[in-house]
Amino acid sequence: MRAFARGLRRRPLPRKWAIRACSSLREICECRFRFYRQYNWHHHLFFRLIPTGISASNRLLEGAPKSRYRESWFGRRGDRRTVTVQRSGAPITFAPLIDVRMISCTTTEATAMSLLLDRFRELAACIPANTAISFVNEKGRVAESMSRADVVSDMGEVAEFLRHHCGLEPGDRAILAYPSGLDFVRGLIGCLAAGVVPVPIYPPDPINPQKTVDRMQRVVASSGAKAVLTSRRYANARRLGTARSIVTGSTVGWPGDLPWHITSRGIGGRRMRGPGTPGAPGRGWSPSPDAPALLQYTSGSTSDPKGVVITHGNLAHQVDFNRRLLGLGLDARGVFWLPPYHDFGLISVILSGLAGSGEVTLMSPLTFLQRPALWFDVMDRVRATHTAAPNFAYELAVRKTTAEQRAAWDLSSLQVVMSAAEPVREDTTSRFLDAFSGTGLRRDAFCPAYGLAEHTVAVTMFGRSTLSVDRHQLETQRLAVPADGPGSQMLIGCGQVADDVDVRIVDPELHVPLADGQVGEIWVDSSSKAAGSWGLPDKSRDTFGARLAGSDDSRSYLRTGDLGLLHDGELYVCGRLKDLLILAGRNIHPQDIEESLRDCHPAIRLGGIAAFAVDAGDAGDVEGLAVLVEVKADIATEMLSGVADEVQAVVLKNHQLRCSAVVVAPPGSVSKTTSGKVQRARCCTRAPALLISRLVSWGIVD
């Protein structure tokens, strides 16, 4: 064995391969052009073969696309395990091989969560100088970055600061109030290492907080948080806002009894360890898989916030789920602008990216909204392989980028372009892929997905199918009957159900499973299913502990509140159960109406449409359809009646429905969550009662 190792050291390694001598099977490392010569001969010596960008699709190797291999398998030669990897030429065999169990983190291990924090340390030990995550400013330039070693050293320093300076104990909750940037990342991983439960929130406007601080107060009261963590930049802006309120005599409703702690580097005399010393702080506390890891307050919970309890086991399963399915290996380079306080950006991007061995580049959501082209500029520059966004972002990209800009971008490196967090629209997908076809973007890279905070994040991904169904059968019988032509509706598949995720379509009233092609409520069970709602045991029991009626199945399911169907193993999401409109005996999804109105008049603002039910009868016993549309600020008053008439005509033509009211309103009238989802119930209460009660065909809000 010694001679074999010495022989390897004397020979130059091929450029595309690295071999590492590992003294511990727990060291899950991915190396490029590196040969580690420090051996511990007191343990069995194992050699690991790691190609640059390794396939994750067979759960045996981690990383790049399966197409880079013709075949790979594990076999035995005598009592010695061997691996044979065949690329384009002859097979290459190396022996002995490391323990197969350690190549992929299995989700059934009782100590699964320890692998998440340990993963950060292992990557820091293996590739300390590699950039893990960076943040670009509004000009697209890298403003700050963290190496793999920085991740571990910052994690340990913040954890030590929270325990010894802030007096926080494992299980205590801490509000994370950060603007976009890497200070949020440091605060997040520091909390995880210290056992403190982070509560990410949308940070109130520090200069003028009156309009946005109410939600923060409610989250603080609900979570029982003991501190607020923030950045130096936000703390300075908050002090400026407080001084401004004193001058103007206004009242600022910041939570008054909570201490604020700054976790930026170099604060309070603390010196972060250098990149060469991924230190030991944070190792003194070992989490249980069932212990709360974070509280995720869903974007829709405004007046009565409800925190979803994500456990350490949930995080471990979800992060491993993302790494396996998305192939987050050494060659992975992701570019994202998703809000970090939202589950999509928090877990699917930040934590999954840190647990992968590639590089993540972040930018502010405000930067994207102000300059959508910058998203593609950065992806072109770094040769991005992964990105993700909600449906509206792809629509905005088509509208706000020019043909000249698109001609200059090379997006051929993109392997995953995920669309999630809101309904995926077939026409948006087609417009985006057609507009960006000249960039080299492959159509098969587009990846519809479905998830929700109550399941940590993802449920399914890599939707590859579309289903054209009869609209009338879908609305009246809740049945997906294939049909083409007029009267049909296109559904977008959100992916096949993974082996370790159980998805059922269930009658929401009878709680019995439905057959393929029938529309019902989506129920989910897996190790990513959250523990429940914080401080709400009854709601947790109803939502997270649902059981199938008349079945011996002992499992409990998460009731998602979403409507969908399964067809040939693919999940299709139709809408929200609580938003469903029952009009003239038909089940109408308001998203379908809103989508059909998007381009009906040039005066209507993108994303400024809400459809909802109102009382239409004299006795209030009949439901009618109301539509609230925002128009651009510079539209002449005489055009407003034309907007309302066009809305009426399109709804009648496409949905065979008459509007009881069409309210034409200025920008900002459509209520939305912090993640941009339409709050239809609030829109209904905000719509002028006079217009609705008089059943006008159109109305104007001044």
Q: Which tokens in the block code for residue 384?
A: 């991005």
Phi-psi label, residue 182: left if phi above 0, alpha if psi -120 to 50, beta otherwise: alpha
Secondary element (H or E) of residue 157 = helix 148-160
Phi-psi label, residue 68: left if phi above 0, alpha if psi -120 to 50, beta otherwise: alpha
Q: Quote the Cα angle for 237-238-241, to 5°.
A: 90
C-alpha 292: how far from chain center: 19
Mapped onto helix, strand or coil, the DSSP state of residue 50 is strand
Q: How far is CA 650 from CA 483, 587, 605, in A?
A: 22, 18, 16
Phi-psi label, residue 76: left if phi above 0, alpha if psi -120 to 50, beta otherwise: beta
The reported pLDDT for the residue numbered 582 is: 81
Phi-psi label, residue 556: left if phi above 0, alpha if psi -120 to 50, beta otherwise: beta
The reported pLDDT for the residue numbered 247 is: 61
Under DSSP, the state recorded for 59 is S
Report the alpha-carbon distance of residue 530 to residue 310 in Å, rounded.
5
**Residue 228: CB atoms within 10 Å:** 23
3-state helix, strand, coil in the chain (%, to 5): 30, 25, 40
Task: With beta carbons less than 8 A apart as the criterion, state whether 98 and 25 touch.
Answer: yes
Report the alpha-carbon distance of residue 291 to residue 173 in Å, rounded.
13
Task: With beta carbons less than 8 A apart as the criterion, state whether 701 and 669 touch.
Answer: yes
Render pLDDT for 574-630 as a digit per residue (tens, 0 to 9).
Answer: 988 888 888 877 888 898 899 899 889 999 998 899 999 887 655 455 678 999 999
The reported pLDDT for the residue numbered 40 is: 31
Report the alpha-carbon distance of residue 655 to residue 486 in Å, rounded.
11
Q: Which tokens in the block code for residue 216?
A: 């923060």
Report the alpha-carbon distance of residue 125 to residue 119 in Å, rounded.
10
Across the chain, mean pLDDT equals 79
Q: Give the DSSP per-residue string, 304-364.
A: S--EEEEEHHHHHHHHHHHHHHHT-STT-EEEE---TTSHIIIIIIIIHHHHSSSEEEE--
Q: Which amino acid is residue 309, in one-letter code?
A: V
Under DSSP, the state recorded for 546 is B
Q: Give the DSSP per-residue string, 230-282.
A: E-HHHHHHHHHHHHHHHHHT------TTS-EEE-STTGGG--PPPTT----TT
Q: Which tokens in the block code for residue 120?
A: 């950060």
Which residues, 6+ apart, have CB-to-CB distance to 284 below 8 Å? none
**Residue 209: CB atoms within 10 Å:** 20
Under DSSP, the state recorded for 13 is P
Q: Which tokens in the block code for residue 468?
A: 């054209």
Which residues, 6+ apart, have CB-to-CB distance to 491 below 8 Å? 426, 466, 467, 468, 469, 480, 565, 572, 574
The reported pLDDT for the residue numbered 678 is: 87
Render pLDDT for 447-469 as a digit per residue (tens, 0 to 9).
Answer: 999 999 999 999 999 998 999 99
Residues of the chain with pLDDT below 70 are 1-115, 244-252, 266-284, 299-303, 616-622, 674-675, 688-702
Report the alpha-carbon distance of residue 420 to residue 699 in Å, rounded.
34
By the 10 Å C-beta count (0-12 exposed, 13-18 middle, 19+ buried), 578 is classed as exposed
521: β partners = 506, 563
Which residues, 6+ apart, have CB-to-CB distance to 446 below 8 Å? 417, 419, 429, 432, 433
The reported pLDDT for the residue numbered 618 is: 54
As a dihedral over the C-alpha atoms of residue 110, residue 111, residue 113, residue 119, rounded to 10 degrees, the angle is -140
Which residues, 6+ apart, have CB-to-CB distance to 584 below 8 Å? 657
What phi, psi does 421 have (nearest 5°)?
80, -10
518: β partners = 479
Task: With beta carbons less than 8 A apart as the criterion, state whether 659 and 648 touch.
Answer: yes
By the 10 Å C-beta count (0-12 exposed, 13-18 middle, 19+ buried), 664 is classed as buried
Task: With beta carbons less than 8 A apart as the criterion, state whether 528 and 455 touch.
Answer: yes
| Cα radius of gyration rounded to whole Å, the chain | 27
Task: With beta carbons less than 8 A apart as the criterion, state whether 418 and 461 touch.
Answer: yes
**Domains, the chain:** 2-104 (no CATH), 123-370 (3.40.50.12780), 454-576 (2.30.38.10), 581-700 (3.30.300.30)
Q: Quote the Cα angle for 138-140-143, to 5°.
A: 80
Task: With beta carbons less than 8 A apart as the criterion, state whether 241 and 250 touch.
Answer: no
Q: Is the dihedral of CA 545, 549, 555, 561 positive or negative?
A: negative
- Upstream peptide bond of 255 is cis (omega within 30 degrees of 0): no
